[in-house]
Structure 1
């Protein structure tokens, strides 16, 4: 796959586009240290492809697919390169360091809003699709006077990145509950640090994903909102994207990657124990916590209705300047 791309925006602007996390390799964002994991060894007629991934639960299917040989069977020599978070994923694809990368849906909406020509190849992780799914939640201390999402108005609420999927979905849920989202004071706190920030009173509420959510609840935190599910029961969170230039110049490799990822996602969805096992090979999440954490749903297809709702919310709350054209960013 060609990786000669033009940098469409200054690096500083691109770095503002971030995905779901930005912390340790055991959860929401992963520092990864730029480590790589070679695929099939590059023999034969395999086409090399480099994919940037955050080492979190959401990306388990691609690690599992690599282990099962799905990419090699599709003719690809896969190299996984861990990133420090979504802030590195978008510029990595733009610069050509990555052929594809994993990033959340709102990040790609923001990138498109800034003039970057990026498009999803396939979905990657979605809300668990059940009430109180436990995958993503806004939590408060047990003795907090906050009782409902509307009560978050006027309070300090942590999200891992500002102007992204966290504050967008929380704002939507607060307004649906009758509160004023414009009065929420969102502050950036990485997922690994959010439970402590909440317990110490640095924030009034914290948005946390697994595996940190399970730990926070064990320590006495109380859920105010399952913000992903309450935005839409089948909300798509993140997927694998590339540049339009790659789509046009090397469609065969893109299709091979799509096919291998589809197999990987389907296999992960059908084999949750293998997902929990593979997560232990590229994160520091211990076996006990892996056995208890709620997994996202893994599916290749996007729910267009849910993505449109998310895009409209992103525009409404100022994350993007206008609702995104989904035909430009979805497969």
Structure 2
């Protein structure tokens, strides 16, 4: 194991030894009550006394840190301050929200950027990024394996079976990029689509040699299965890689510019709060399904307060280099500028 990963591992296990408790069952169901947000009446109601084109909106969120801003905006009243009556609707995976976004069931939704630009490149979605949700941290997304796996460096992954959430997912592309950066043939690995919650058990049973994990599953995999990080995937060429964002259909954005701006203004203080451990800890248990003690151990991502086309272009480049994307996309064409507050 490399020195930096080994050091990081020792620090993580020290934290776990000091504060770990057995995690509560993780929320993986779209209908899980822990994610239910505030209710509203007819979310399609148009017009309001506050000048917004549409004051009642529905926002799709994931069980991930990228959705923390929406939960904080709900909890601390930032949506209401902007005249928005928001219904938060849980979804199991970003791509599954696309049909609901297209047919108007959702007005905004959180989606991982790889899936978003894949859909844009395939011309199956006409949407734009409204709010940048989160940027991955080098310790919040890692390849993990059993301590006795014999895997301690990228070269040890050659010939191994790695769990990557889904084919051509961000997890797979990031692993490919890191293997390439470390002079390992990305095609020397077998990539198996197994979802994050199921990867630890698949490693423990021998179905996988290793797997990509993200929080909160990264921490709970250490607690429950004793897995340990063996390779960072958010480092070097992939350092500070944009992870998820809130998107809306272009048609909705054009028809409701004041509503979109109000949503963005509500999210700015919420994103600021997400960087505050004392505040984000108030929504992480409800959001991720882990208990308060485990939530305190999670490695936090970075939560941007403005949209950055240059940063998002890196996701497109990642797709072009490792995801087979041939479309030439300009991130600024699929981005709504952040309003001044």
Normalising to structure 1: TM-score of the pair? 0.84
Instruction: Determine helix, strand or coil for the equivalent of 1:238.
Output: strand
Equivalent of 2:256 in 244, 250, 275: 250
Match of residue 132 from structure 2:
123
Write the distance in 2 (CA, Å) between the matches of 1:150 and 1:109: 30
**Counterpart position of 1:217:** 222
What residue in structure 1 maps to residue 37 of structure 2?
37
Whether contact under 8 Å (1:25, 1:31) holds in the other structure is no
Q: Which moved more, 1:39-48 or 1:152-161?
A: 39-48
Superposition deviation, residue 222 in structure 1: 2.7
Contact 1:25 1:32 in 2 (8 A): no
The 3 A distance-change label for structure 1 pair 327 and 252 is same
- The structure-2 alpha-carbon separation of the partners of 1:234 and 1:275, relative to structure 1 and needing over 3 Å to count, comes to same
1:232-265: CA deviation from partner (whole Å, max 9, x where unpaired): 3321100100111111111111111111111210
Whether contact under 8 Å (1:59, 1:124) holds in the other structure is yes
Change (3 A) 1:231 1:201: farther
For the 8 Å contact 2:136–2:234, the answer to whether it is kept is: yes
Per-residue CA distance 1:70-128 (angstroms, 9 max, x = gap): 01111111110111221322222112110010001111111101102111001011123
d(CA) in 2 for partners of 1:323 and 1:198? Answer: 37
> Could you tell me how far apart the structure 1 residues matched to 2:266 and 2:281 are?
20
Q: Secondary structure at the match of 2:240?
A: coil
Deviation for aligned residue 1:320? 2.5
Residue in 1 aligned with 2:5?
Answer: none
Q: How many residues align?
A: 301
Provide the residue aligned with 1:227 in structure 2.
233
Confirm or deny: 8 A CA contact 2:30 2:90 kept in the other structure: yes
Q: Decide whether aligned partners of structure 1 residues 34 and 254 sit closer, same or farther in structure 2, where only a CA change above 3 A counts.
A: farther
Q: Which residue of 1 aligns with 2:17?
A: none
- 2 CA distance for matches of 1:278 and 1:154? 40
The answer to whether the 8 Å contact 1:50/1:80 transfers is yes
SS at match of 1:258: helix
Aligned to 2:67: 59
After TM superposition, the structure 1 stretch with the greater mean CA deviation from structure 2, 84-93 or 62-71, is 84-93
Shift of residue 199, structure 1, vs aligned partner = 1.4
Alpha-carbon distance in 2 for matches of 1:194, 1:112: 29
Aligned to 2:95: 87
Note the 1:175-186 alignment, pairs <5 A: 175-186=180-191
Structure (1 or 2) with the larger CA radius of gyration:
2
The alignment's TM-score, normalised by the length of structure 2, stands at: 0.81
Partner SS, residue 139 of structure 1: strand
Deviation at 1:231, TM superposition (A): 4.0
> Which 4+ stretches in 1 moved above 6 angstroms?
40-44
Q: 1:34 to 1:119 in 2, by over 3 A?
A: farther
Q: Specify the SS of the correspondent of 2:143.
A: strand
Q: Which moved more, 1:273-282 or 1:153-162?
A: 273-282
CA distance in 2, matches of 1:86, 1:319: 20
Deviations 1:212-244 (A, max 9, x none): 111223443232222123443321100100111
Give 1:1-331 correspondences, 5 Å limit.
Answer: 26=26, 30-33=28-31, 36-38=36-38, 45=49, 47-115=55-123, 116-128=125-137, 133-218=138-223, 219-269=225-275, 271-331=276-336
Does the CA-based 8 Å contact 1:214-1:293 persist in structure 2? yes
The gaps in structure 2 that reach 5 residues or longer are 1-23, 337-341
For 1:307 and 1:282, the matched residues in 2 are separated by: 25
